[in-house]
Amino acid sequence: MNYDSYLAHAIEIFNDRMDAGFSGDDIILTCFMTEDQKEIFEQFCSKYFPYRLNDRYQEEGYFDFRASSFIGMDNGGKDGILLRTDIPYHPVELLHIFLHELAHIYCAHHELDGKSFYDEYCMDYAPTKQEDGIINAGYAVWRECIAEIIAIELDDNCKIVPLKKKADVLRQLKSEIEPVDGKLAVSEILTAIMTSSEIEASQTWEEAETAIQSLNLFDTPPEMDLFRLVYAQLRTTFLEVDVGFIHELGYLYLNVLSMAVIRNLRQH
């Protein structure tokens, strides 16, 4: 596959719909396979993103991704995407992957008036490690959620469907809320709900709340407060965030996680 051409198409879509101002020269695409992933990562980062060499990439599981975005810092305004190429991609899937990674890059540059939210608030910002953990959890949930929401909205191959058609997927995702991968599961739940036809068409939170409750899947206060928070964010400042919003999101996520752990213990 011509990966560069799919990235170019994704950039064209992003620039047309989001006025992003992306340039193919400023998005560096590098491909890797399992057999050379550490070597390629080190070469890629050493040349363009040296700060990422501090990642725990030597740990097992670090490369469990199809693609990952890299945000430029003092490298002439270049961002990057690292793409795994030893798995087959359908053309529709590949385009969506690039839209998702471009959304990460776009958000990183626009979510906090050009500053890095991670650098400002996720590294020893709070007075305690517990508060730092809440902010980090909230940002992990949000960054995947907003990137995928943007990718879905830009991808004409993604159909906006009713909640009832997502019920089985949502039920499965709810069962996957656990300490290791719970943030990703909650992010995917938020994305699925916020991009449903009922929620997108709703004029008020009360309308959206009624539609969500009709699933009979989510009915606890922390779950509904989490949906309400993200619903309001998407209809006000959208991708622009502040630490208060991320902290509240992290706090609610940890409440949802705690309830899931207790529920799983009772079931077993």
Whether residues 87 and 214 share a domain: the answer is: no
Cα 128 to Cα 88, 131, 227: the distances in Å are 44, 5, 27
Whether residues 131 and 248 share a domain: the answer is: yes
Whether residues 133 and 239 share a domain: the answer is: yes
**Which CATH number goes with the domain that contains 45?**
3.30.2010
pLDDT digits (tens, 9 = 90+) for 21-62: 999 999 999 999 999 999 999 999 999 999 999 999 999 999
The pLDDT score that the predictor gives to residue 75 is 86
The Cα 44–Cα 214 span in angstroms is 48
142 pLDDT higher than 90: yes
Number of domains in the chain: 2
pLDDT digits (tens, 9 = 90+) for 192-216: 999 999 999 999 999 999 999 999 9
Percentage of the chain beyond pLDDT 90 is 93
Residue where one domain finishes, among candidates 50, 81, 110: 110
- The residue behind tokens 């959304």 is 103
Whether residues 144 and 215 share a domain: the answer is: yes
**Measured on CA atoms in the order 250, 209, 217, 99, is the torsion positive or negative?**
negative
Whether residues 129 and 17 share a domain: the answer is: no
The pLDDT score that the predictor gives to residue 268 is 73
pLDDT digits (tens, 9 = 90+) for 157-169: 999 999 999 999 9
Whether residues 104 and 144 share a domain: the answer is: no
The pLDDT score that the predictor gives to residue 124 is 86
Whether residues 104 and 190 share a domain: the answer is: no
- The residue behind tokens 């213990």 is 265
Whether residues 59 and 142 share a domain: the answer is: no
DSSP string, the chain: --HHHHHHHHHHHHHHHH-----GGGEEEEEE-GGGHHHHHHHHHHHH-GGGGGS-TTSTTTT--SEEEE--SSSSS-EEEEEE-SS---HHHHHHHHHHHHHHHHHHHHTTTTS-HHHHHSSS-SSSHHHHHHHHHHHHHHHHHHHHHHHHHH-TTS----GGGGHHHHHHHHHT-STTTHHHHHHHHHHHHHTSHHHHH-SSHHHHHHHHHTTSS--SHHHHHHHHHHHHHHTTTTT---HHHHHHHHHHHHHHHHHHHHHHHHH-
Whether residues 141 and 235 share a domain: the answer is: yes
Residue where one domain finishes, among candidates 87, 110, 133: 110
Is this prediction's pTM over 0.85? Answer: yes
Sheet containing 27-32: which strands, arranged edge to edge?
27-32, 79-84, 67-70
266 pLDDT higher than 90: no
pLDDT digits (tens, 9 = 90+) for 226-254: 999 999 999 999 999 999 999 999 999 99
Residue where one domain finishes, among candidates 89, 110, 131: 110
Whether residues 130 and 258 share a domain: the answer is: yes
Q: Which domain holds residue 159?
A: 118-267
pLDDT digits (tens, 9 = 90+) for 60-100: 999 999 999 999 988 888 999 999 999 999 999 999 999 99
